[in-house]
Chains A and B, each alone.
Chain A
Amino acid sequence: MPDRYHIHTVAAPARFRRIGKFANVDWREDCSRCSNCVKPRCLYDVYKRESAYNRDPQTPVETLDECKACLSCVQGCTKGLLGVSVNPEFLDMGDEYWKPEILLTTWNQADTGKIPVSGAGYRGRFHGPGFDSIWTDMSEIVRPTRDGIHGREYISTSVDIGPKPLRLEFTPDGAMLSAPLRLLELQLPAILDMPAWAAQGTRLAAARIAAARELKTLAVVRAGDAVQALPKQLPSVTPVLTREDIANSQDILEGARMAQLWDGPEVVGLAIELLSINPQLTISVRMPLSPASAGRIVELSRAGLKVFHLCADQHGRERLGNGAPGRHIKDSLREVHGRLVAEGLRDEITLIVSGGIALAEHMAKAIICGADLVAVDTALLVALGCRVCRDAHPRDAHGEARCGVAELCPAETDSVDCAYATQRIVNLMGAWHSQLIEVLGAMGIREVRRLRGEVGRAIFMEDIEKEAFGDICRVPRSRVSA
């Protein structure tokens, strides 16, 4: 058995006051300073920390943002003076996809690198759009080798980038005709992608590169940002190149294992040019996810390109280019995957998908829908404290927010220390990796490669709703609320 892949996480506390869900424990006048005060009895020392902060301004400001809303103080106060409310600042974070709860759990994972655990069952909506309408399978009884995912058992999360031939071909006298197999193996089914909007600080790119090296995966960076990579880091760097960049990127291309080109009329020519610099290089084509993706992939694969990075928008939807929201990744990816299977091309092609990958479960679900691996973008910014602001960023011509304005960014991603940022990214990916293993373990699947396209091991809301509730008559919701 190879050495077990392990992500070394180290606590990296947040730099900023965290915005808790509950805050504003408000005083009402009338406190009689009784001897039965509930404040010293808070199980989480929320009030003690508050008073420590009031005495010493150097104390980190966390105060009531740590309140868990157990309401013991509210219900126990002798005179009933206390109240808790949901923090409006919390509700105001993020947007309808990057919900405040997602931001909070991402921060917690980046702080500690640990799996989020809580009690009291599931708390959210029954189902939702996109990934929230998929459940993954589990097995009651699994293979004899099993002795727990945290025991001796090894669940592999490594994936390969590159074409896998269905068979080897030989000449009659035994010489191999097939080209030698050249796969790029990553230990995590996720690469670290550029932020989708223009928060493109070189520090962030450096942190991504360092984190990718530690995580044994790849960091996608602009060619200009790749220059800062140390020679030993180059195998972890995937520069995104334009025609102009190629001439200036000889050194990088010689050290890198993968490079990306934006899809365009000259993409095949550029790929040939790159291979002439480094014949070992894996070329991936970056393209917006759209209804035309499947056809374009088939077309380019005939021209010899085998690795495709499909970029959905930040809410995990197709980019239609006309501003209208497209289908979700789960639908369009299943279509692409199905088309490639039908064409007999699936094992020759590697699909990387990005956009809207916000939680560890999205990684698993995107792979179930047909991706080989995902690319994580916005979640890495969130790990550094980004709140996916709606207002602070000027919009570009396409309506995407731009984080160009340093003084407006509450997370100050421009000034982040590179080593610290690296650790936060490693922590987040470490927590995701552990969660992916939980999902695989529950299914009894021992390597993530086997999860690709395994729709039979997932439960899709549309199907199960029909199967379970199909015989129950439907009425419009308006009939009861009216």
Chain B
Amino acid sequence: MTISDAEVQVRIRVSTPEPESPRLGHSDWPQETVAREIRPAPDRYRNALGKYKVERLAACQSCGHCTEVCRYGVHSKPAGYKFTLRPLDCLCIGPECAETPESCVSQCPHQALSVRPNPTAQCMGDARWSSDLILSTWHQAATGHAAPAHLESRTGASGGGFDSLRFKFEVPGFDQATPVPAGAEIDTGLDLNHRGDGRPQVHIDLPIYGGGMSFGSVSIHTILGKARAAAAWNSFTCTGEGGYHDRLKPYDDYVITQVATGLFGVREDTIQRVRIVEFKYAQGAKPGLGGHLLGDKNTPAVARMREAVAGNALFSPFPFHSVYSVEDHKKHVDWIKEVNRHCLVSVKVSTPTDVDMVAVGSYYAGAHIIHLDGSYGGTGAAPDIAKKNIAMPIEYAVPKVHKFLAAEGIRDKVTLIASGGIRTAYDVLKTIALGADGVVIGTAEMVALGCVRCACCESGRGCPRGIASTDPELMMQVPLEWATQRLINLNNAWREQIVDVLSRLGMTSIRELRGRTDVLCRLSDEEVSQ
């Protein structure tokens, strides 16, 4: 399967909303809609990376036999060409094919071909985000559909948490549920307001929305790509702690304004134009520490929005200086509710040992959404010691809070959103099975935009791949239309997998899965007495 030039030109159709359609929010700005269309959005680099590398030796006579043999489009020799083209090894599925007698390796009359694991691909990723996960996320973002079987696209290699949890249908030896009959409608949507307090209902079509990344930490194209994909999927993105960029205004109905400890760029107007406002008490990337924008990334444009001095490192304090008790917290929530009488309030907290108490306190303070940000996630720069050691991973926090809220009798009055290390569609499903209503993703979106997790987001001019950089030259590596399409595609691929799993579990709505730990099992290294 080669991708033609016409398909490479990814276009997004933008249309104005139909006049009679009810407006979702109260924005004063004309709102754009983005079509939910799945189109190919191939890797933006010249050489796409594959898990395997196909080597062609000088012995090749360009006979073209391999182009007839390969079923995956790795080899090609267009009409009129004298030589066979360089193998498109990103399409190769590896030894599973190469070791068969039908493969190009076996069939090459000159033994000029070989297939081996690509050492460059092994340089990407880490235990949490394995090379396979990055490649499979790229595939999903490029095509809009699940990754091929030769890439492990469900779990990483971290050895614990999500990576040690499996659905029972993935493990032999369990009784399986009766699947939903083919053709039945499966609902992946989620209502976010369960308080019954007269505020508008907010519905999202996927149990997923985008995490806060500030202008400055990422480029405007990244921010807008996320916002446009959110608009296409009737979901949300979040401003992060860097103010509200003018170019976000056409997507007001799909944006969450974040009010974080530094209050950078927060104004009455930015609170009033959105449907959800989020308080960020702490973040999983660096629990117990404030946000941190290094001086190099504080360009004049960033500084203007944050009303700060360009070139200075910007530290957000930790915690809120105005909040020293749960009563103060309620005062905060009331303040937002007063400024915007139509919005929902989300409270984003990290995962300390008493996270369950924090969640209950937030509910009684008036929050509609409790957003738990686990300690293994995060996209921004953080001290290594904080990323690994401070606060518990989200896998532990979700069941702890879910059970506690249920015991308090308020589980159905609050929306529990989890984030911090949710990488795949299966992670989303496992989080919900552990007790969350929905999830927020961050790193997965960055990976969809071409992140290789080299961890250089913070240094110098920023991200070498142009995602997390406000450097004018670097950020132009990520075209807006491409970014939008990649994220729309990723959401679609995930939705397909979510629907597939729900139908296997015999469920017709994602809401049925919440707290169903009985569909999960946990892999154990020890001998298990049956």
Other-chain contact of A141, B49, B319, B390, B474 (Cβ < 8 Å) = B319
Assess whether A143 is in contact with B324, with CB atoms less than 8 Å apart: yes
> Is B393 close to A, CB under 8 A?
yes
Q: Which of A143-181 contact B (CB under 8 A)?
A: 143-144, 146-148, 150-151
Q: Which of B389-444 contact A (CB under 8 A)?
A: 389-393, 395-400, 421, 434, 443
Q: A5-13, A117-125, A308-316: which one contacts chain B?
A: A117-125
Closest Cβ neighbor of B348 among chain A residues:
A140
Closest Cβ neighbor of B287 among chain A residues:
A138
Contacts of B281 in A (CB 8 A): 140-141
Q: A52-60, A214-222, A437-445: which one contacts chain B?
A: A437-445
Other-chain contact of B120, A85, A126, A143, A151 (Cβ < 8 Å) = A85
CB of B380, distance to nearest CB on chain A (Å): 6
Other-chain contact of B390, A84, A138, A360, A464 (Cβ < 8 Å) = A138
Q: Which of B372-399 contact A (CB under 8 A)?
A: 375-393, 395-399
Indicate with 1 or 0, residue by residue over A304-331, a CB within 8 angstroms of chain B CB atoms: 0000000000000000000000000000
Closest Cβ neighbor of B290 among chain A residues:
A148
Contacts of B319 in A (CB 8 A): 139-142, 146
Contacts of A75 in B (CB 8 A): 43, 45-49
Assess whether B46 is in contact with A78, with CB atoms less than 8 Å apart: yes
Alpha-carbon gap, A85 to B116, bound state (A): 13
Contacts of A476 in B (CB 8 A): 523-528
Q: Which of B61-93 contact A (CB under 8 A)?
A: 86
Alpha-carbon gap, A365 to B389, bound state (A): 9
Other-chain contact of A76, B47, B287, B517 (Cβ < 8 Å) = B47
Closest Cβ neighbor of A138 among chain B residues:
B288
Assess whether B524 is in contact with A474, with CB atoms less than 8 Å apart: yes
Contacts of B528 in A (CB 8 A): 474-476
Other-chain contact of A86, B122, B170, B171, B352 (Cβ < 8 Å) = B122
Closest Cβ neighbor of B317 among chain A residues:
A148
Other-chain contact of A439, B127, B390, B525 (Cβ < 8 Å) = B390
> Is B460 close to A, CB under 8 A?
yes
Alpha-carbon gap, A416 to B265, bound state (A): 52
Alpha-carbon gap, A465 to B434, bound state (A): 13
Contacts of A270 in B (CB 8 A): none
> Is B455 close to A, CB under 8 A?
yes
CB of A3, distance to nearest CB on chain B (Å): 23
> Is A480 close to B, CB under 8 A?
yes
Assess whether A118 is in contact with B390, with CB atoms less than 8 Å apart: no
Number of A residues contacting the other chain (C-beta, 8 Å)?
A: 79
Assess whether A69 is in contact with B452, with CB atoms less than 8 Å apart: yes
CB of A122, distance to nearest CB on chain B (Å): 4
> Is A137 close to B, CB under 8 A?
yes
Assess whether A123 is in contact with B129, with CB atoms less than 8 Å apart: yes
> Is A68 close to B, CB under 8 A?
yes
Contacts of B453 in A (CB 8 A): 120, 123
Contacts of A121 in B (CB 8 A): 128, 284-285, 376-379, 382, 387, 421, 443
> Is A459 close to B, CB under 8 A?
yes
CB of A260, distance to nearest CB on chain B (Å): 30
Assess whether A117 is in contact with B399, with CB atoms less than 8 Å apart: no
Closest Cβ neighbor of B282 among chain A residues:
A140
In the complex with contacts A118-B455, A120-B455, A139-B160 CB distance below 8 A: no
In the complex with contacts A117-B382, A141-B281, A474-B524, A361-B454 CB distance below 8 A: no
Assess whether B350 is in contact with A125, with CB atoms less than 8 Å apart: no
Contacts of A119 in B (CB 8 A): 379-382, 455-458, 463, 468
Closest Cβ neighbor of A434 among chain B residues:
B383
Closest Cβ neighbor of B43 among chain A residues:
A75
Assess whether A137 is in contact with B161, with CB atoms less than 8 Å apart: no
Assess whether A441 is in contact with B324, with CB atoms less than 8 Å apart: no
Other-chain contact of B172, A115, A444, A471, A479 (Cβ < 8 Å) = A479
Alpha-carbon gap, A459 to B328, bound state (A): 27
Assess whether B160 is in contact with A127, with CB atoms less than 8 Å apart: yes
- Quick one: which of B281, B285, B384, B517 has the most chain A CB within 10 A? B384
In the complex with contacts A69-B123, A69-B454, A137-B352, A472-B421 CB distance below 8 A: no
Indicate with 1 or 0, residue by residue over B508-528, a CB within 8 angstroms of chain A CB atoms: 000000000100111111111
Q: Which of B165-183 contact A (CB under 8 A)?
A: 165-166, 170-173
Other-chain contact of B456, A68, A435, A458, A479 (Cβ < 8 Å) = A68
Contacts of A247 in B (CB 8 A): none
Alpha-carbon gap, A381 to B458, bound state (A): 29
Contacts of B43 in A (CB 8 A): 75
In the complex with contacts A69-B454, A140-B352, A479-B173, A124-B400 CB distance below 8 A: no
Assess whether A124 is in contact with B126, with CB atoms less than 8 Å apart: yes
Assess whether A126 is in contact with B46, with CB atoms less than 8 Å apart: no
> Is A80 close to B, CB under 8 A?
yes
Alpha-carbon gap, A194 to B289, bound state (A): 35
Offer 23 A-B interface pairs, CB within 8 angstroms, sorted by A.
A43-B461, A70-B454, A74-B49, A75-B49, A76-B45, A80-B86, A118-B382, A118-B387, A119-B381, A119-B382, A120-B457, A121-B128, A121-B285, A125-B127, A135-B392, A138-B390, A141-B329, A147-B317, A458-B353, A468-B400, A474-B522, A475-B173, A480-B523
Give B contacts to A, CB under 8 Å: 43, 45-49, 53, 86, 118-120, 122-124, 126-129, 158-161, 163-166, 170-173, 281-282, 284-285, 287-290, 315, 317-321, 323-326, 328-329, 349-350, 352-353, 358, 375-393, 395-400, 421, 434, 443, 446, 451-458, 460-461, 463-465, 468, 474, 517, 520-528
Chain A to chain B: the 6 pairs with minimum beta-carbon distance, closest first: A442-B288, A119-B457, A126-B160, A75-B45, A138-B288, A85-B119
Kindly list 16 other residue pairs between chains A and B, CB separation below 8 angstroms, not including A22-B123, A117-B383, A126-B163.
Answer: A71-B49, A84-B119, A86-B122, A116-B383, A119-B463, A121-B376, A125-B127, A138-B391, A139-B288, A148-B315, A459-B353, A468-B396, A472-B165, A474-B528, A476-B523, A479-B523
